[in-house]
Amino acid sequence: MRTTQRGFTLVEVLVASAVFVIFMVGMLNLLDTSTRVAQIESDLADTQENVRFAAYHIMRTARMLGGAAMPFAGDPTGTPRWVSGELVSNASGTIQIPGFGSATVLSGSDVLTLRGFFEISPFFTDPGTVLSGSSTVTIPEYNSLNQDLNNFESFSVAGLEGRGIVFMGEGKYCVGRIDAGAGFVGADLERKLVLDHMEGSSPWSDLNTTWSYPPTFKVYRVGVLDSYTYFVDPNNVLRRVRLSAGSIEAEPVAINIGGLQVLLGLDTDNDGQADTWEDDPTGAGDVAGDTVNSMRIAVLGRTPFEVPGWDEPDATFEIFDGTTDNKNKSAKWRRIVVEVNLRNYKF
């Protein structure tokens, strides 16, 4: 008995192959979509962390302001002016940072300078020290009773040149600039820190709104002041300039930052609460009575690439000025807004 064995015809093979190819293409497209979604979500999570870090980094610095009884802005001489801080709203192009030079900023982003704060605890001097116009101040580690007055164990004189120096006493203060030549003299219980100082130029001289340099009052404490300027560059990097002598760099703080917006809260009725919010209270003449008492900081972050088909809502950008200029809405964005109360001492 003869049996007939049949295989697949060419048409059947082609049909089966086509079905398999369609199936594989679908699976690969699904895998590719899943990979792209995972990448977007990962970058969005990174952006969220960058935004959070940037906002709290600035907020931490802002909380240290006011340690030398210097307000953020005021009008002690009848002319509204920035003092321990300065805000340039919606900057563009190239700006000048005192002590640093020019920097190119992301158009529409704010530039915030925070100065007049301590990262090193101020030192005590012998009660009633009078400098009498001297360009050198000597700070003892121990007083005349051999009691520990200041702790120099973890203190380094490196990097002090170019930073501010503030003299405090009798409810007054004045600010100069640390010159070259800082160092220690003596040993054991006789060890002393010697700081050379000079009047310097902006921004340190700008802080002397009431009492001029050099101090003519009795000095009880001497502090080393810092100054940080925060801005976003055109490459979406939040940078910080620390004012000092030598090689100054605009060091990166956070990446994928698409904007920085800051408002200053004004306490117009002295109840301790912000009544209005301004982006330039000195320009508006709203700092009578040293009313700047708080700060609202908004940081916007974005994914480093565009997302096909995505259109970021306008509400993301309409935080303070209602503008969407220079914002790539094809990227996904995140933002965070924080508020900080300033230690704004009255003159």
Report how far residue 223's alpha carbon sits from residue 95's, in angstroms, rounded to the nearest whole number: 29
For 246-271, what is each residue's pLDDT tens digit?
667 789 999 999 999 999 999 888 88
Looking at every residue in the chain, the average pLDDT score rounds to 83
Report how far residue 271's alpha carbon sits from residue 292's, in angstroms, rounded to the nearest whole number: 12
Q: How many CA atoms lie within 13 A of 275 on its CB side?
A: 11
Residue keyed to tokens 């009575």: 289
Whole-model pTM: value is 0.84
pLDDT for 347 beyond 60 = no
What mean pLDDT is predicted for residues 331-346?
83
3-state secondary structure 59-126: HHHHHCCCCCCCCCEECCCCCCEECCEEEEEEEEEEEEECCCEEEEEEEEEEEEEEEEECCCCCEEEE
What mean pLDDT is predicted for residues 131-139?
80
pLDDT tier at 320, thresholds 50, 70, 90 = low
Lowest mean pLDDT, pick from 15-29, 57-71, 306-320: 15-29
Could you tell me if 290 and 270 are in contact, meaning their C-beta atoms sit under 8 angstroms apart?
A: no
Q: Are strands 292-302 and 333-341 parallel, antiparallel or unpaired?
A: antiparallel
What are the DSSP calls for 161-216, one per residue?
Answer: TTSEEEEEETTEEEEEEE-S--EEES-GGG-EEEEEEE---TTGGGG-SSSPSSP-
Structure-model confidence comparison of residues 107 and 288, the more confident one: 107
What mean pLDDT is predicted for residues 198-203?
80
